[in-house]
Structure 1
Amino acid sequence: MKKTRSLVSIAVTIVFILSIFSTAEAAKKVPVASEKDPVVFVHGFTGSSSSFDNMKEWLISQGWPSNYLYAIQYSDTTGSSVDNAYELQTFVKNVLRQTKASKVDIVAHSMGGLSTRYYVKYLEGAQNVDDIVTLGSPHHGTNSSYFGLWTEGAREMVPGSAFLNELNSVDETPNGSDTSAVIQCTSIYSSADTVINPYTSSIIEGAENIEISGVSHSGLLTDSTVRPLILDGLEDGGQNTN
């Protein structure tokens, strides 16, 4: 009987030790939420939250927890970037409440970069945003907007519009009024983008401006050459939780 008990004791000890090693190995593989900022994806003119489905899957493969990835769907996809910025403000609040994070990162495509910058500059984005990556955003307007002048969103994207003049006044880099919250801003744009005309409109003073070639306007969302650039824009040291 004693021999049997000894064998059982040894077996239990071995199982316990193996479970510790298994737990340690699993911990290495499971992404720790606090090491990443939640990412909010912002679509552009006539865009959709589903535009980022593929990018979400890719970021999960790069270590982001699936519950840290959120794509907003604006109620008016051709409407004013000012109105959209207020929707973004509410959306980010909800993301921060759900994740318990202190800040989010934002990846914005096309016109989404304008509502993002407005949110940061004039609302409370300066306190709630860590990094911004814009993809083919018409920071200084696009001549393509003349084809949609019946929409407020297009009128705001006309080069030299009152909206753009206000947004780009004083400081083009969207750090808002909070000088202690410096936001890393990356603008990625393509010389093959015929929607943003001229494509150099995406250059924004104070940001890291990255020009690529051979990628279309919509291709910026899925092209494999863009992915590492987005990753660099998002990984500047992580964030702190509340």
Structure 2
Amino acid sequence: MRQAMWTAAAVVAGVLCAPGAAQAQPTGNPVLIVHGWTAGGAFPLAPNWADALRTALENDGHPVYVVDLPGELNIPNAQAISQTAQRAAAEHDGAKVDVIGHSMGGLSSRWFLKFLGGTETTAHYVSIGTGQYGWAPTCILPATLGGEMCPASPFLTALDHGDDTPGDVSYTTLRTLADDSSGSHTATDDRPLQGHSCIDTGIDGGPHADEPSNPVVIAAVLEALHDHCPGQVVDEPITR
């Protein structure tokens, strides 16, 4: 499986670098790309942060929507995702959407699925480098600067109660070597979602901030959207 993903990554890199590569006519689900934590703008997004992923998705036949999030509070962010999903569905004959969340964007996306009716309108959920059960360094921050990622925050307590993979949605979580090698990494960081999902860890995806533009990560995303788990399918018991 890992060799196949490296081959796919080489194909992705070739497509992205090929001059004048033809964009496929939209044939796949609309895809929403959701960015991660910016600490209230202290860590601003690079202007081209989503370009490589967008290009690969468009070349694969997907209309792409990059979601403009209002801030660091995940519930308003989830509402923005919901609004974008409704617009994407309306512009594409009621099609279901696929949602890709990077870093904290994966948490906002899960709230959209679990509490805002997103499971009815979503086919695939893919997280990239998301600390699904929190990231301890953020516990010193106020909620408005990312403190909701604290494992004990009311937001995560609510999000992680019960089934983490509700509805008829394909769930995939991707984590890179950078995600799992930091000094603040704990054993729970790469734990699968409770429920039925695909998990792929140890991806050589470069620095955390660059994951959405990394060809190996993009190849794994495309695998997931084509209903092929790039890692391991797991069924984790629901214990909370």
Bin for the TM-score computed over the shorter chain: 0.7 to 0.9
Partner of 1:197: 185
Q: Structure 1 residue 53: deviation in Å?
A: 1.4
Q: 1:173 to 1:131 in 2, by over 3 A?
A: same
Partner of 2:51: 53
Misfit runs of 4+, over 6 Å: none
Stretches of structure 1 that go unaligned for 5 or more consecutive residues are 1-28, 176-181, 238-242
For the aligned residue pairs, the C-alpha RMSD in angstroms reads 2.4
With normalisation by structure 1, the TM-score equals 0.73
State the identity %. Answer: 24
Q: Structure 1 residue 153: deviation in Å?
A: 5.2
1:48-67 C-alpha deviation (Å, 9 max, x unpaired): 58521121112233x225xx
Tell me the distance in 2 between the aligned counterparts of 1:196 and 1:90. Answer: 34
Given the alignment of the two structures, is residue 75 of structure 1 paired with residue 67 of structure 2, yes or no? no
1:39-88 C-alpha deviation (Å, 9 max, x unpaired): 10001111658521121112233x225xx111011122x2x101111111
Of 117, 130, 146, the residue aligned with 1:124 is 117
Given the alignment of the two structures, is residue 188 of structure 1 paired with residue 188 of structure 2, yes or no? no
Given the alignment of the two structures, is residue 41 of structure 1 paired with residue 33 of structure 2, yes or no? yes
Any residues of structure 2 matched to 1:199-238 within 5 Å, and which? 200-202=188-190, 203-205=192-194, 206-214=196-204, 215-236=206-227
Partner of 1:6: none
Q: 1:32 to 1:159 in 2, by over 3 A?
A: same
Q: 1:222 to 1:126 in 2, by over 3 A?
A: same
Letter in 1 for 2:128: L
Tell me the distance in 2 between the aligned counterparts of 1:94 and 1:219. Answer: 28
Stretch deviating more after TM superposition (150-159 or 223-232): 150-159
Given the alignment of the two structures, is residue 64 of structure 1 paired with residue 61 of structure 2, yes or no? yes
Any residues of structure 2 matched to 1:146-157 within 5 Å, and which? 146=139, 149-152=141-144, 154-157=146-149
Higher share in helix: 1
Tell me the distance in 2 between the aligned counterparts of 1:117 and 1:59. Answer: 21
Contact 2:65–2:84 (CA under 8 A) maintained in structure 1: no
Partner of 2:138: 145
Stretches of structure 2 that go unaligned for 5 or more consecutive residues are 1-21, 39-43, 229-240
Letter in 2 for 1:36: G
Q: Structure 1 residue 164: deviation in Å?
A: 1.1
With normalisation by structure 2, the TM-score equals 0.73
Partner of 1:111: 104
Q: 1:30 to 1:218 in 2, by over 3 A?
A: closer
SS at match of 1:207: strand
Tell me the distance in 1 between the aligned counterparts of 2:187 and 2:105. Answer: 16
Q: 1:165 to 1:150 in 2, by over 3 A?
A: closer
SS at match of 1:225: helix
SS at match of 1:55: helix
Contact 1:157–1:164 (CA under 8 A) maintained in structure 2: yes
Tell me the distance in 2 between the aligned counterparts of 1:81 and 1:89. Answer: 12
How many residue pairs match? The answer is: 196
1:163-216 C-alpha deviation (Å, 9 max, x unpaired): 1121111101143xxxxxx10010000232239733742432222110024432
